[in-house]
Structure formats: structure tokens, C-alpha cells
Structure 1
Amino acid sequence: MLPVVPRRQWLTVAGLAFPCALIAPAAHADVDPGGGNEGGPVKQAGSRDGKTLTSRIVYSGSTKGTAAKSSGGFTPVDDWSPPECWYEPKWTPAEFSEEFKKDWDIPNASGVGQAYALAKDYYVNGHPYKDFNKSETSKGIWWDEVRDKARADAGDPAAFACDTATFWVKNGEAPKVKNAVTPEILAELAYNQIRVPDTQVSLAPQNTTKVNLPTWAWLDKAQFKPVSVTASLNAGGVNVQATTTAKPVALKLEPGTEDAETYPASGKCTINNDGSIGEKYTKGMADETPPCGIKYLRSSDGGSFKLKATVTWQISWTGTGGAGGNLPDGTFGTTQDINVQEIQAVNR
């Protein structure tokens, strides 16, 4: 395969600078990681210049809209993030020819003609490709970049880091560029699609407690279970998939005030052997110390404290060809109101 050409090498022609949108003849799909499937596969789509473009990656599983209490994606630890951009097989030679014409159907702005001549020379005139490689139809496919729409819209420079111009890949060959779709890339993208339920812990007493009275907290194993998302791509001779699974492993309690104690002192409740966290309160346990819980040291003065419960999820993945591994843990937390009252005493 001939070497791919970075877009940035086309940014200046005869001393004139041109916008990337004019220099890169191929259209680019912006992918919204928050799209839902409401129970079925979903193709993530975005738009550019009024045209709707679609990534060919399909997601299924515990994506937004499928959970009984749909919430959102968790936050990766260690400042890790899924790919902001990547490359997919996009067009046959005939399709790329049409896309090329659409992108260059623009007003004849100053300098654009020179940039167009460069692109046409590269893809049409045989330096190195002739007529979009139509003579090689069915022997390969054109690949191009896809961006994470949310990050691109936010102006994140990383979303624009995939700057290699549209490139040709022969059937059976692996692209020699970073972030070309592989099972691992799909696993990382699936990570960004996983949606977990709200962390609504069970409490005793529930929602209203007393000063210096231990409040028991627990999560039942039936509600506290692994979730997964599968990302798959079957296009242009590429057929790969990966399933990313999030397994809950710990719960952290933050009382919402410094005037409180947690059980254990770190506030981190570990998972039990049966998959639950903490211990369900039953009658007769009032004098015991909860394995997971809180004790408030002052009242909430008629208001409430915001108890935050954050679950840590351990992430692993498996993919095509026996590939697999681990990804950074993720955390997701929600809050619930706790009313703390003074214990009333009667003086005789």
C-alpha cells in the first residue's frame, strides 16, 4: 500500500493557508456518543454542511435508553478517555468519486483552485491514484476519519487529530495508521457507550435519620450487576467486533457534610462474595455497627444533606480473534436527600 498523506501537508499551497474542510476532499462523520438504541442496534450519526453522514459502527447492549433507570456514562479514572477520532472503511471508488465532487462543489474562493488541483492530482490524475482507483473496484475500499461529535463540538483539539487524508486499503490488508478500527478501538468506543443505572442505595432508616444514629446502607445483588455493550463493524471487507463489560466492584459514600462519620472510615464499601454491597438492616441490629453506612453528627436544620453514592466499575473486553484485555475503571455517582433530625429528649 502506498503511504498515506497527512492532511496538514496540504495546508499551504503557494504560501497560502487553507481550511482543512477545503483541503480534505472527503466528508467526515461526527459521532454522537450519547445516541440511544431503545433496545436495538444503533448507528451513530452526525452532520456536516447540512449533509447527514453515518458511522458504520453498530452498538448494542446497555446503551442509553435500555436500562430501567437510564442514566449516563461513567467517568474513566486516571484521565483516560476513549478515542476522540478514528478511521473506518467508508467508500467504494465510485462512492468516493461522488463524495469528492460534493465537497468541491463550493464557491471559487481565492486559493481554493490551487488546493483543488493538489487533491485532484492525488486522487484523479495518477499521483498516486488514478480516477479514485476505479480500476481496483472490489479489490479494496477507501478509509476516512470519524470524529466524536461531542468533543468536536466542544472544540477539543484531540477530535481533529486524525488528519490523514482519505486513503486506500486493499482487501485483507491492515491500515498502517494509528486509530484505524480494530477490536481494541471498538472496545474503547463501546466503553463510551455504556450506560449504568442510578446508584440509589437502600438505607435504614430511609431518607430521614437521627443525629448520632448509624444509618445502614446497602445495594442488593439483583440491582448491582454487570452491564455490557457490543460494538461491531462489518463494511468494506472488515468484520470485527468487541464487547466491553463493566462489573461493579465497590461503593463510596460521601455524606454531604463534614459533620459525619462513615462505615468503614474510608467511606469505601467493598463488594460481598454474593455480589451485594453492605448488609441489609433487619430488626434487632440497632446496636450493631453497619459494615457500610453513615452516622451524622448534627441535624440538617429542616433541610437535607446530599448523600452521594459512587460506584466503581471494573472494565474488561473481548473481541474478534480472541482479543481482549482490561480498560481503566469507571465511576458513576448519584445523590439522594437525607433529612437528619435531633433526637428529642423529655426532661421531667
Structure 2
Amino acid sequence: MTLIDQPTETREGEALDPAAVDRFMKQQLPELEGEPVIRQYPGGASNLTYQIDYGERSFVLRRPPFGHKAKSAHDMLREARIMRALKPVYPYVPDIIAICDDHDVLGDEFYVMERLKGIILRQDFPEGFELSEQDTRKLCGNVVDKLVDLHRVDYQAAGLDQIGKGAGYVKRQIDGWSDRFRKARTEDVSDFEPVMEWLQEKMPEDVATCVIHNDFRFDNVVLNPDNPFEVIGILDWEMATLGDPLMDLGNSLAYWVQADDDQFFHMLRRQPTHRPGMMSRDEVVAYYMERSGFHADNFDFYEVYGLFRLAGIVQQIYYRYYHGQTQDKRFAGFGQAANYLEQRCKRLIEKSTL
């Protein structure tokens, strides 16, 4: 049982009012008894995730960060409604228990979902979790299969027509992230202009429109503790939308640090994709294309895009640190990380045959 992902104590300044939580939960589920035990999951730099326990019954509450937030960011209600609509056709989505848009309850909107008791693979395998090279390969394929399954969902039949703009996604992403990067750039970070120019020049048409996750990584995948090859849940649907499936894959590969990557990239690693038996990025692309039926003669554009988007995310966080809007020391090296990601993009561009 120790392998099951567990929360820790609530961080200072991020505590929930237990009486308010208790009132809300018992309005939704009158059979609950006793007082709630509230703990917080340590992961994530964005939305806040808590575990609410009533004896043996466990729930997960998701809410935006405290304080000021951008109008379009941290839309908990949208995330919950997407999950609720997806659940009948994509069973790996946790059940939504309740959605609350009344800010008087906890100071912001939030939702409550079932807790999936399972193993989550973060930077490294948890202590006591060991797989052979062959079994690691099997697990890797099973996880990529879940991305393929998502991209096969009939979004129109599922009633998800309105979650994104659909066609034209590739251009919107390149234009949008270029604009966001320029606005977030600090003087100690390179301007990325050659990378943005290349992406504009090499931009393909959308290969398809489907439901995409936009943050598909091992640390958003829940594994069955009794059968770690079985994926029982996919988490963090905040950025899900309608878009190009190969762009979704490119986003995932930006986090896919493999064994032969350089030391700096390994310092950025957030998932155990370096383990013996894990597919390389090229193998993931080939496996995905064979399983999905989607195809690109050359994947370089999508790989460069994924790294550039990641640099944009990193730089937006670093901008806040650089200008003293946060004192979180975790972000002190994010400018250096953005510069490194530009070098990765440039190396890919130099070798590209596009």
C-alpha cells in the first residue's frame, strides 16, 4: 500500500476551512459521518489539489491558487465539465462528485471528484517499485495507448463540440505561444526569434481535430497498485481542448527525457522515461503513429513546437520570479532552463530536413 500516491500536510497559506468543506460535502453526500481530514498533494505549480477523507472514504478537491489569477486561467468549472462529458466514452477520467461555483463556500470555484487509489510515477520509480526492462517497455506502451485512445474519442457524439475552436489549431498555437513568450521575455533570456520564425515557416495544416489533453505525462497517469501495467486514471484536464493530435504528442515529448540525453536535460526530468526499457522519443512517435493511424512524414516541427511551448511555460513562471512577484526559489533557475530549451530547438532545426 505504500506505493499508492499520498498527500502531505497542507502548505502554509493554502489551508481550506474544514467546517465549510464539511458542510458542502454533507450537502452533496448526506451519508458522510464524522469530521473531514484534509491534506494536500505537493505536486503542481498551478491549481491546488487536496484529499478529503471521511474514514475509509476519500475524495479529491481541486481549486485555483489563492490570490490574483488571470481571467482565462485555472477554470475549474470548465475542467470538471469536460471530465464529466468525457467519462462515458473515456473511462480513465475520475468521476465528478460535485461542482461549486459559489465563491462564498471556499473563496473560489472548485470541484470534488473520486479519489483514484493508485501509483503515480513522478521523477523516479517510488521506493519498492521495480520493473524489469521488458516490463518497463510494456508499461510504456500501455501509457502511450491511452493517448491514442483519447485521440480516437468521437468528440461530437460525446457532446464536446464547444470545448475548443477546432480547425486552425496549429496556427493558433504558434501565434499564441510566440506572443506569450515575447511578452514574458526577460533581458537575461534569449529572444527565441529564429525558433519562432522557423515554426512559422514550417507550419503544417492540422492533421485532424480531436480531444487533446495538452499535459499528458506519466505524473498525470494513475496505475493500478495490484497490476501496475494497468492504467486506471488520467488526471489534470485543465488544458484539454479540441486540437491537433500530433501537437499533443509533441507537447508530451518535450518532457520525455531519455537515457542518452545530456546532463542538463536530465536535471529538468519530471518522469522516469530514462529507465531501461522505456521507449526513446523516436520510438514513441513510431509506436503512436502505428497505433493511431495519424501520420507525418517528418515529426521535427512537432518536437520543436513542444520544446518551444515548454520554454514559454517556463519563461512565464520565471518572469514572475524575475520581477519579484514570487519569492519561490524553485523558479530561480527557470531562465537558464528557457535558454537551454532554445538550444535544443536550434539543434533540432539544424538537423531537420523540413
Q: Same fold (TM over 0.5)?
A: no
| TM-score of the two chains, using structure 1 as the length reference | 0.24
| TM-score of the two chains, using structure 2 as the length reference | 0.24
By relative contact order (CA 8 Å, sep 6+), the higher-ranking structure is 1
User: Highest CA radius of gyration, 1 or 2?
Assistant: 1
Higher share of residues assigned helix: 2
Higher share of residues assigned strand: 1
